Amino acid sequence: MIPKLFHQHSDHCSKTVDWFCTDNKLWYERNIKTPKGYQLLKQYGWIDNHFTYSFNSHGFRANEFRPDSPSIMFLGASIVLGTGVEYKDTWAYAISKRLGKLNYNLSISGGSNDSAFRIGNHYIPHLKPDLVVFVNAFNWRVDLITEEKVFTFYNIEYSTPERYKPFYKEWLRCPENGELNYLKNKYALYDICQTNNIPIVEIDGYEIHLMSKHTCGRDIMHPDAEGHRIIADHVYEKITNA
């Protein structure tokens, strides 16, 4: 029995939902009422295009965990989870299919490098995947864990409760905070993988955002299926050349 880790999406354990995070009904209805939003939704085929998000018993958009089965673990944020597209169109799913392994996509929408480390630190020793793919997040994101919730601060106005704004504003003043936080999480993940004799490949999150920015998922913030195909080819090449 693999113990569960409390994380940002724990309230979605074993659930299937119609909308998720930035791909939400309210924003969709707002976008469709604006000329630019309607044009993009129509151009990319999202008008009345219904799909769902399903989560495993640990709250991840991933295969149910089967220890000792061939698997690949993905750690990252929304562009890895696949916010805005169907599960079958995500690049993590495409990579797992190409390699013939279970898709352990343990990514957090809006997550940080803190999130990737914390989740990897808990699940890598239990699941022992054949490979870990770590997609680094933007350095200005940082996590705070409380008894009630895991917060990821990534925007002063939208993601930060009022009581934490002074700290986060001060933290953001010096970019070195984010740079050091990224490096600490990266090296810690590499150490965990080395300890468990598991190879790890790091992917530049900003790079894959750029290579897919001309595409448009249902939330008009993340790539569509074509964008995920582009990323899948890029990541597959990185894996095979590692």
- The per-residue pLDDT for range 216-240, each reduced to its tens digit, is 999 999 999 999 999 999 999 999 9
Tens of pLDDT along 4-61?
A: 999 999 999 999 999 999 999 999 999 999 999 999 999 999 999 999 999 999 999 9
The pLDDT value recorded for residue 39 is: 97
The phi and psi torsions of 142 (rounded to 5 degrees) equal: -150, 145
pLDDT at 74: 98
Residue 173 has pLDDT above 90, yes or no: yes
- pLDDT value at residue 93: 98
Assign 157 a pLDDT band (cuts: 50, 70, 90).
confident
Q: Residue 116's Cα: distance from chain center in Å?
A: 9
pLDDT, residue 158, reads 82
Domain boundaries, the chain: 10-241
pLDDT at 131 over 90: yes
Of the candidates 105, 13, 104, 20, which has an alpha carbon nearest to the alpha carbon of residue 59?
13
Q: How many CB atoms lie within 10 A of CB 189?
A: 23
Mean pLDDT of the chain: 97
Could you report the per-residue pLDDT of 96-121, keeping only the tens digit for each? 999 999 999 999 999 999 999 999 99
* Architecture of the domain defined by 10-241: 3-Layer(aba) Sandwich (3.40)
**pLDDT recorded at residue 211:** 95
Buried/exposed 32-61: b ≥16 CB within 10 Å, e otherwise: eeeeebeebbeebebeeeeeebebbebbbb
Q: What percent of the chain has pLDDT over 90?
A: 96
Q: Which residues pair with 131 in a beta bridge?
A: 72
Task: Please return the burial class of 175, using the count of CB atoms within 10 Å of its CB with bins 0-12, 13-18 and 19+.
Answer: exposed
User: d(Cα 103, Cα 115) in Å, to the nearest integer?
Assistant: 18
Residue 67's pLDDT is 87
